[in-house]
Every structure is written in structure tokens, then in C-alpha cells.
Chains A and B, each alone.
Chain A
Amino acid sequence: MKTKNYIIKFSALIFTFIVVPLFLYFSGNFERRNILMETLSIVTILAFSLLLSQFFTSRLNYKLMKQIRMVNVVAIHRFIGYIFISVILLHPFFIIVPKFFDNTLTPTDAFVRLITTYNTTGIILGLIAYGIMIILMVTAFFRFKMNLHYRTWRSLHGYLTLLFVITATWHVIDMGRHSNGSYTLFYLLVVATGIYYVMRKYLFKKTAKK
């Protein structure tokens, strides 16, 4: 019974963070480009949604943690983290990929234009989120070398994550090529749930202890 239970939970996670975004992608009325660009789009969308799933593959997901061993949860968390952060790290470059295949703007010119246009809140949020993401990644990578208390580490990671998720989601909703009502609703639901979990863990549990 226990085994089945976590399989169901995993299925729920996979459904929420892979099937739902894919469904939204294929059901949405988006302009389709060539296979390469569409693949990159799907990879980016999945990377972001799986990053959001990190809320639920951590200690926050108390029940899941009890059912499978913590080591495994951390392993999944780490795996998703590194793999998909690298996709998100690369996504600004995905955008200029077509410039490698035509005679219009050079990829460099296009990229410089991309990261130096500060008209829209979307770009500024994106750049901030990108910066936070790099800090998150570096601190996670050197977690044990930093010799932090677990609780300090967890706060650092948690609050940075909160900041990251809020700016990144706002960026995605504002700028995303595939941003539409359904995606916005989906992201907001996931983020709200995630934040609720974090807050409950960090704030309320702490207060309770006092």
C-alpha cells in the first residue's frame, strides 16, 4: 500500500508538472515555428515548470518524504535542479538561435539588444531572476563548503527561491512567447501553493516552536 501511495504521488507530480504544461502547449493557439525552435520552446517550458515542481520535491513535501527515503528526495531535487537550471540558464541563447541560420542580425547583435533593452518590466525581472538563479545554483553547489548551519542554509535557499520564483514567474507571464491565460493560471496556482508551503514551514512552524 505504501509503495502504491508514493507512486500515485509521483504520478500526480508528473501529471502536474509535465503533462499539464505539455497539454497547455499543444492546446494553446500559438504560432508554430520550425521543429528546432518548437523543441527548444517545449524544453524551456518544461524546465520552468519542473523548476516550480522543486517546491514539492523537498522537505516541504512532508508526506512524500516519509514515504520514500530522504536521500532519494534530495537526489531528485538535486537532479531536477541542476539539469533544468542549466536549460533556463541557456534559454536567453535559445531565443537568438534563428540568427545563426539567417543573414539578418548577427547572433551577437541580437543578444546584446536582448540583454540591454530595459523598456519592459519583463526583461528587467528576467535579468534579476537570472542573477538570483545563478546565486541559487552556486550556493547549492558549494553548500557544504560554506559551512552553514542547516537552518541558515535552508533559510538562504528558501528565501532566495521565493524571490527567484516570484520574479521568474512574473517574467514568464509578462514576456513568455507562450504566455496565455491558461499558463498564467497554472503558474499562479503552482506558485501560490508552493509559497504557501514554504511560508508554513518557515514562518508558522518557527512561531509554533517559540
Chain B
Amino acid sequence: MTTESKNMSRRKFITLAGAGAGFAAMAGFGMNLDWALNKPEIDTDALGINKISTDVLVVGSGMAGLFAAVKAHDAGANVMMVSKGRLGASGQTPFAKGIFAYDKDKEEISIDEFVAKVSRSALGTNNQAYTRQLAEHSLARVNELREWGFFESSLYNKSFSKPIEERNIPLQERVTITHLIKEDERVVGAAGFSIDEQKVLFYEAKSVILCTGAGGFKPNGFPICDLTHDGTIMAYDIGAKVTGKEWNDGHPSRGENPAACYDGWGDMFEQKPGTTGIEVRHDLGVDMNYMAYMNGGAAQMGPPGMGNQDNKVKGGPFTPEEFTKRDRGDGPPPGGENRKRPPRKEREDGPPGMGRGTVVGGSSAGMSIHKAEGLVPINDKCESTIKGLYAAGDALGSYMAGGIYTQIGSSLSGSAVQGAIAGETAANYSKNVKSHSISTSKLNSIEEEILAPLKREAGYSPAWVTQTLQSIMIPNFIIYIKKENLMRAALAYVEELRDHHVPHLRASNLHELRLAHETKNMVISAEMKLRASLMRKESRCSHYRLDYPEMDNENWQAWINIFRGKDGTMQLEKQPFDTVNQINSVRNKETV
């Protein structure tokens, strides 16, 4: 196989070289035809390599990563934190301004009642153990955050740095992790590269906690362009099960300057965070996509997810009765709503981010519901289907809220709660595990994979492949208003990108190298999203099928898990709602 693939690439190279000669001839006509030629700005042979050892490796530095690192340290483990961005300033954390805290002295309903209410809104899609855990632990986490000064600034780097610095937890920022490393059926580390130090980095760790957030297709209008499901895809690549891909976050954007997510949210990004109490909703988002689909565009759009329009169309996504009649002013903000937040600009004009005028859909395209997509947990301790691999926050498919927005502000506190639990669990696990030295052959092959786009003599730019993927996936009639034939068509396109473009991604510098790996992850995520959406032949919560508009309780009281089959193909299985995944259970395989 290896030889064959080498021959293939050699043949391809010859073809390209021949084409290059042709282009050179045509260049005489004044056309710039060296689009495909890779002109590396850095010498890959000069890139350094570092190997670092730790007990617990925390990947990601948002809310989940913060608590994972702190609690793993406090449980006695050596911890190291590594982030693609900056502590408190990457992923969705910096933009989430509301954090839910269940305070039994202030709330009128008990935790049992809260869990029941969430379950009703979620139409059974939530994992009650995680919903309960959120309520039980949220106040403690919020109090810790308050101690660190979290509520004193709209910027979180300072408050997040406090506990990390106090504990001397090593932190590496602007490091793109691309690979998880599994040997002897357990996780033994991770690998990636540092943009600032121009180095390939290997981490030997007894356990790894993915706090890598969710992701999207680098959509316009939502601050998730650094989130490309990296953790999910890395874990999928080493055999982990992932879930929740069929659900959709339905955030719209303003018709004018739709890419300007800061402007879209008024001045919310500059507000200090605040806490929220119990307020369970059923915020669809996808209902607006349905309306736009039926009405033929955004012209008469009202606020998202909120039903008050005169031009309400028949049919569409189902909202449980008790969650329809609400005095709504706001759509679901990123990471939650904050009731104590000072009034925003434009408040009277509509929901945050809308203002006056038309709205357009798909600002968060590619993202599922917070906490619904990600690694499948095998218990309520954030443990994944791979030994030693944990996930927390949006990287964990905990179904804490279900396939729909339920409790306001729970996204941020859920990340805090799960991060803490994952940290403690991983630290305890690491105590009984011997450190493992990753084999040289593995290191070499991974290094080769990481740097491949830099070494290609020609290829496609990540920006172009991403743009093409966006055109395939983001249209309303593909990702939101789903139907069999169009999803099959999109899947064919995505498979083409997967098989014939991803292997030819090129990079001329480390910025582009990061984009190349992100693009690969987005393409695989798109495939997951389409396959899961095809498999779920019903409509429920934020998943809407035009060809199966009804909820099917007989067949679909189940989550969809996705994993890589032995032949390398994508496999899907059902897992009944609110059950625990048994790794060795009989798999109800269903390949779409």
C-alpha cells in the first residue's frame, strides 16, 4: 500500500510537473499560472523538535481547559496546558457573557424539577446525569471564578491566568495540536506544532483532556473561526466515538456586514460577564431557517427562533407547547444569556446581533448545539471511549442541554463543571498509569503527517478548499432544511474534497499549515454532519428534515454515535437516549 501510494504521488507529481511546463509556456501570455506551486517560506528541515512529558495534558484554554488544568493539579497531578490560542481568549469562551449558577437558596425549583424541565424542552435528547451535574456544581465553579476576578473585566485572560500562575501550571499558547497518540490501546500523548517557536512538539502524557471546544466551517458572523472540531477529529482518528453531529446551532447574522460578529452582537463582547438563574427555553434558530426557506429569503424576517411574526408559515420545526408562549426579546447568544447584563445597544431593535433590517442565516454554520457534539462519554466523569482520553465542555458530547438550547448561560458553566470533573478524573487515572515512551517510528510518522502540507511541491490552498466546503455545506437547503437527495449530493462533493483535495493541501508557512489541518478537520466534520443527518430520519429539536418532518419516538429515541470502522470508513450507530455507552455493546451499525 505504501509503495503504491508513493507511486501515486509520484505520478501525480509528474503530471503536475508536466502541467507546470505547460503553464510556463502560457505564462508568456501574461497569465500567472503558478497557483498550485507551493513556495515554502520556511525550511522544514530546520524546524526543531521538542518532546515534553507530563501526567495530564490539557488541550485548550477556554473555560473547560481552565478548570481541567486547575482541578487536575489540585488532585495531585503534573499538568500541562496547551492551546491553539491564548488562555481565556480562544474558542467561544471570550464571547460568552452569561454563566448559569444554580443557587438552591434563590431558585424556586429543585434540581430534580430543573432536570425534568430541561428534559421536556430537549424532547428527551439530553443526558440527565450531565444536566444534573451542571446544576449541582455550577455555583461552586462560579464562586471560584468570582474569587479569580472573572466578573471584573470583559477580558478573561487576567482572571484565568491567576489560578494557573498560582499553581505554576506550564502553559503553551499558540500551539496547534494535530494528533492524539494511542499506543497499547490507550492514549499516551499528543503532537502538534508551535507557530511562534517554529517547532514540532510531542507531548508524552498519561492522560489527555480535550477542551478543544466545538467548531464550524469558519462561518461568517460568529466568533468560531478558530474552532474546527480539532479535538473531535483527532479523537475520531484514533478510534474514539463521537456524537451529536446532526444538530444545528441556528444563529443568524445581520444582512449588512454579516461577517462582523462583534458588530452583530452590539457591544456584548465588551460587557463584563454575569450570572444567570434558571430559565429553561427551547431556542430553535432552525425555525427561522425554515421560514426563510418557505418564504423565499430573509426579506420579512423577524427575530430568530421566536415565533412572534405575522408571516408565520405553516409546519416547520416543532416546539413543545409550554415553551412557545414566551415574551421573547432575545435569541440565544453565544454561550448564554445574561439577565443582569446592562442593556445593550439596539436592544429595542430586536435580538442581540440583529438590530434593524434583514437578517441572514448560517452565521454559526457547522456548529451543533453546545455540549451535544463531541466525544461520546462512557460515564458521567467525562471519560471517552479511549482509555486515558477525556473531554470536557463543547468537546464532549455530554448532551447536557440536549439537541436544543435549554438553560440559558449553561454553556459556559457546563464547561466549567465538566472541566473540573474531567481534570480530577484524569488526575486520579494518571496515578495508576506508568509513563510511556512513544516509539520513534510513531514520532517520525506523525511528524511526517504534520509537516506534509509544507513539503508538497504543489497542491490546493487551504483557503480555497475551505471556501469550496463552505459553498457546499452552508446553504440553507443543505445544512438546516435537510432532505435526502440534497444531502446525498452534498456528501458526494464532500467525499471528493476528502479524497482528492485534502491529500493535496499545501502550506507555505505555519499559518497556512494550521489552516491546512483545520481544513482537513472541517471536511471530516462535514462528512459526519451529513451522514448523521441522513441517518436521523425524523425531525427533533434543532435537526429538521423536510422529508421527515415529524418526530419519530418509536425509532429515534436515540443518539447517533460516529466512529471509524476497521476498514477506515465512517460508521454510525444508535445509542438509546439517556443510556450509558458500553464500549463492548453490540453495535447497531448502520452505514449510510
Which of A's residues lie within 8 Å of B, judged by CB? 102-106, 109
Contact = CB atoms under 8 A, between A and B. Distances in A.
B270 A103 contact: yes
B265 to A, nearest CB: 14
B263 to A, nearest CB: 16
Interface in B138-188: 153-155, 158
A102 B158 contact: no
Interface centre among A102, A103, A104, A105 (most CB of B within 10 A): A103
| Residues of A contacting B: mostly | loop
A109 B155 CA distance: 12
A102 B153 CA distance: 9
A105 B153 CA distance: 7
Interface in B251-307: 270-272
15 contacts: A102-B154, A102-B270, A103-B153, A103-B154, A103-B270, A103-B271, A103-B272, A104-B153, A104-B154, A104-B155, A104-B270, A105-B153, A105-B155, A106-B153, A109-B158
A106 B158 CA distance: 11
Interface string B117-155: 000000000000000000000000000000000000111
Interface of B: 153-155, 158, 270-272
* Closest 7 pairs between A and B when the two form their complex, measured CB to CB: A103-B154, A103-B272, A104-B155, A104-B154, A102-B270, A103-B270, A103-B153
Contacts of A102: 154, 270
A109 B154 CA distance: 14
A113 to B, nearest CB: 11
A104 B271 CA distance: 8
Contacts of A105: 153, 155
A49 B177 CA distance: 51
Nearest to A103: B154
B214 to A, nearest CB: 25
A203 B272 CA distance: 61
Nearest to B271: A103
B389 to A, nearest CB: 36
Contacts of A106: 153
A103 B158 CA distance: 13
A124 to B, nearest CB: 23
A109 to B, nearest CB: 7
Given A103-B154, A103-B271, A105-B153, 5 more contacts: A102-B154, A103-B153, A103-B270, A104-B153, A105-B155
Nearest to B272: A103
Contacts of A109: 158
Nearest to A109: B158
A103 B154 CA distance: 5
A114 to B, nearest CB: 16
Contacts of A104: 153-155, 270
A90 B158 CA distance: 27
Nearest to A105: B155
A105 B89 CA distance: 13
A109 B158 CA distance: 10
Contacts of B270: 102-104
A102 B154 CA distance: 9
Contacts of B158: 109
Interface centre among B155, B270, B272 (most CB of A within 10 A): B155
A134 to B, nearest CB: 31
A103 B153 CA distance: 5
A109 B271 CA distance: 18
A59 to B, nearest CB: 52
A109 B542 CA distance: 43
A25 to B, nearest CB: 28
Nearest to A102: B270
A106 B157 CA distance: 13
A104 B94 CA distance: 11
Contacts of B154: 102-104
A126 to B, nearest CB: 25
A109 B159 CA distance: 13
Contacts of A103: 153-154, 270-272
Nearest to B158: A109
Nearest to A106: B153
A103 B272 CA distance: 6
A106 B271 CA distance: 13
A103 B268 CA distance: 11
A106 B272 CA distance: 12
A104 B155 CA distance: 6
A94 B153 CA distance: 21
B196 to A, nearest CB: 14
B529 to A, nearest CB: 36
A102 B262 CA distance: 15
A102 B270 CA distance: 7
A67 B155 CA distance: 60
A104 B153 CA distance: 6
A109 B153 CA distance: 12
A106 B155 CA distance: 10
A103 B155 CA distance: 8
Contacts of B153: 103-106
A62 B155 CA distance: 57
A104 B270 CA distance: 7
Contacts of B272: 103
A104 B273 CA distance: 11
A102 B272 CA distance: 10
B41 to A, nearest CB: 23
A102 B158 CA distance: 16
A109 B149 CA distance: 14
A104 to B, nearest CB: 5
A144 to B, nearest CB: 49
A111 to B, nearest CB: 15
A106 B154 CA distance: 10
A99 to B, nearest CB: 11
B511 to A, nearest CB: 21
A119 to B, nearest CB: 14
A12 to B, nearest CB: 47
A105 B154 CA distance: 8
A103 B270 CA distance: 6
Nearest to B155: A104
A34 to B, nearest CB: 14
Nearest to B153: A103
B274 to A, nearest CB: 11
B223 to A, nearest CB: 16
Nearest to B154: A103
